[in-house]
């Protein structure tokens, strides 16, 4: 049926409550005075949104305001829109996507994740961050993004790292670091001043360092070496010789 013709088979819906106009949520269909169907309208694009429902919902007497259901092609949000505003170009349909982005999505996601670690007790890493007092000391994630961009740059290949691992996400305590540098800055890692003495270990320096970085203690490493010899794993003979020299 034409969009200019009201479908007489559609029941008129009235309400004693206030009439709605403008954009409303997808779960809140406008209170209709009358409705019509325009199948040819489905798929039509207006700014960021496209029409997904053939139904036109008129919300004021004399059919003054018409709403259609749309989906944003940017963020996927579904909502009812003022059809007249879309037709006249007064609205691009999705305010969030219409506004220019001030920070790249990847940076926003990383700092949003940092905020979650600091504020949400249900976050997987809460105990290592918010649980021990680490805070995101910016007024918002956007402010944190802008500070990083202005002071550190925006290199997607680098991680956002706290210089003082016991400090906060705040101006002056953030840097861009490689994944390797960031891993070295973990509390469980061996510090650069650690001195490797070959006669005290069953493995080469880097192997010992890697195992300590994974959280293993000296006792764990010695037990691992004995198990490597017992199972005859790679280089077990040299490991056995080192163990023997340690105990001789």
Say how far apart CA 115 and CA 83 lie, in whole Å: 38
User: What average pLDDT score do residues 119-136 get?
Assistant: 90
CA geometry: angle 144, 150, 152, nearest 5 deg: 85
User: What average pLDDT score do residues 153-168 get?
Assistant: 86
Per-domain boundaries in the chain: 24-98, 105-184, 198-247
Positive or negative: CA dihedral 160, 165, 168, 170: negative
Residue 162 has pLDDT above 50, yes or no: yes
pLDDT in tens, 65-105: 888 999 888 778 888 888 888 888 888 788 777 777 788 88
For residues 132 and 165, the model is more confident at 132
Say how far apart CA 137 and CA 169 lie, in whole Å: 6
Weakest mean pLDDT among 24-38, 42-56, 192-206: 24-38
Residue 19 has pLDDT above 90, yes or no: no
Contacts of 50 by beta carbon, 8 Å cutoff, 6+ apart: 43, 44, 70, 71, 73
- When pLDDT is cut at 50, 70 and 90, the band that residue 131 belongs to is very high
């Amino acid at each position: 049926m034409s969009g200019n013709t009201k479908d007489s088979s559609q029941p008129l819906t009235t309400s004693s409550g206030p009439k709605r106009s403008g954009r409303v949520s997808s779960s809140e269909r406008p209170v209709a005075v009358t409705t019509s169907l325009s199948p040819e309208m489905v798929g039509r694009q207006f700014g960021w949104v496209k029409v997904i429902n053939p139904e036109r919902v008129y919300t004021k007497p004399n059919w003054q305001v018409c709403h259609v259901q749309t989906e944003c092609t940017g963020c996927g949000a579904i909502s009812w829109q003022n059809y007249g505003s879309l037709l006249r170009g007064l609205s691009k349909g999705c305010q969030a996507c219409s506004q220019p982005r001030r920070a790249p999505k990847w940076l926003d996601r990383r700092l949003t994740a940092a905020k979650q670690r600091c504020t949400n007790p249900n976050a997987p890493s809460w105990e290592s961050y918010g649980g021990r007092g680490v805070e995101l000391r910016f007024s918002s994630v956007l402010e944190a993004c802008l500070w990083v961009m202005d002071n550190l740059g925006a290199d997607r290949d680098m991680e956002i790292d706290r210089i003082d691992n016991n400090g906060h996400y705040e101006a002056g305590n953030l840097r861009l670091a490689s994944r390797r540098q960031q891993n070295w800055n973990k509390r469980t890692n061996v510090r650069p001043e650690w001195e490797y003495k070959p006669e005290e270990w069953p493995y080469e320096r880097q192997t010992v360092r890697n195992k300590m970085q994974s959280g293993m203690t000296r006792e764990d490493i010695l037990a691992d070496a004995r198990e490597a010899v017992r199972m005859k794993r790679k280089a077990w003979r040299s490991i056995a010789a080192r163990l023997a020299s340690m105990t001789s």
